[in-house]
Structure formats: C-alpha cells, structure tokens
Amino acid sequence: MLRSDTLASNTQGWAAQLRAGDVVRGPDVARTAVVDEPDVAAAAAEVLLRRQDDSDRTPYLLTGPEPLSRAEQVRILDAALGRKLRFEPVPVDIARARMVADGRPERLVDALITASTRRPESRLVTDDVEHLTGMPARPFAQWAIDHSTEFGSRPSPHTSRSL
C-alpha cells in the first residue's frame, strides 16, 4: 500500500490567483512534506512491477524531502516565477466560497477543506521514495521550476502593449 503526503500538484489550484496577481489566498494549513507526483508514480510503478515478499514493509508513506507551509511554498514559487509573491491566510469559510466560485464541485471542496483543516502539523519525512525508486524525493523547488509556465506571467506595469 502506498500513501502520499500533500501532492505538489495541489498548488496548481493557485494558478488563477497567480495569473490575476501576486497574492495566494487560502487557509493557513499545517506544514507537510510536499511530494512530487512523478515520485509517487515512480514508486507505484516499482511496487507494481517487482515481486513482493513478506518482508516488504507497507504501507509506504511517500513524502517530499522537507516539510513546507503554504507561505513557504509560495516563496518557492516566487523564486521559480521570478516574481514577488506572498501568501495571505484567509478564514476557512472564505476559502471555501472562493473555491466553489472558481468552479470546483462542492463535495470536493468540502473534502479538501475538511482534510486540510484537520491535518496536524507534520515534520515527518520518509525515505520511502528513495527506498522504492533508488532516487531521492525531488524538492518542491524543482517541481515549481518544472511547472512555472502553468502559473502564467503577468505583464510588468512598465511594459507597453502595442496595438
């Protein structure tokens, strides 16, 4: 059995906010070791393709290399995008309303909000990705660089547009 900590791809939910400005607003949830989804996929492939024996330890908890808060994730995106970003915590009810207004299904929003607000702070980092794949878990900074184009770029206020 594989379990993953917070997936790095969850930050793609901030893309609309970052295309519109330099502030990510959301609930300030517990710090977790954000894991890159290709690491999860590689670990899953290894488990599916190799012969398992009774000595294999499960469940595997797949984590990234370091626990990060939302504010820290935004600072890392700031560096990857070359922008001055900031995280602004908002109450859960406001975050929920914004997620629903963005078009996410209410049941999904409720599940995400419930999971994130009940999750305890975690400093846990495992070596399960490396144990399964032979490669260390990739840092969130690499994920941010790899996915930077998904967050768009805002034109500089000093850039003029030609018609």
Owner of token pair 């909000």: 113
Give the Cβ contact number of residue 60 at 10 Å: 21
Contacts of 57 (CB under 8 A, 6+ apart): none
Q: Give the integer Cα–Cα distance in Å for 20 and 81.
A: 14
What is the pTM assigned to this prediction? Answer: 0.82
**Neighbour count for residue 146 (Cβ, 10 Å):** 14
3-state secondary structure of 113: helix
- Give the pLDDT of the chain (163 residues) as one tens digit per residue: 899 888 999 899 889 889 899 999 988 888 999 999 999 999 999 988 876 665 566 789 999 999 999 999 999 999 999 999 999 999 988 988 988 887 889 998 888 888 777 777 778 999 999 999 999 999 999 999 999 999 876 534 443 333 3
Dist. CA 105–CA 65, nearest whole Å = 31
In a 13 Å sphere around the CA of 73, the CA atoms on its Cβ side amount to: 29
Quick: pLDDT tens for 105-128.
999 888 888 877 777 777 899 999
Residue-wise burial string across 100-114, b where 16 or more C-beta atoms lie within 10 A, e elsewhere: eeeeeeeeebeebbe
Q: Which of 96, 95, 85, 66 is nearest to 148 (CA)?
A: 85
Cβ neighbourhood burial of 132 (10 Å; 0-12, 13-18, 19+) = buried
Contact 33, 122 (CB under 8 A): yes
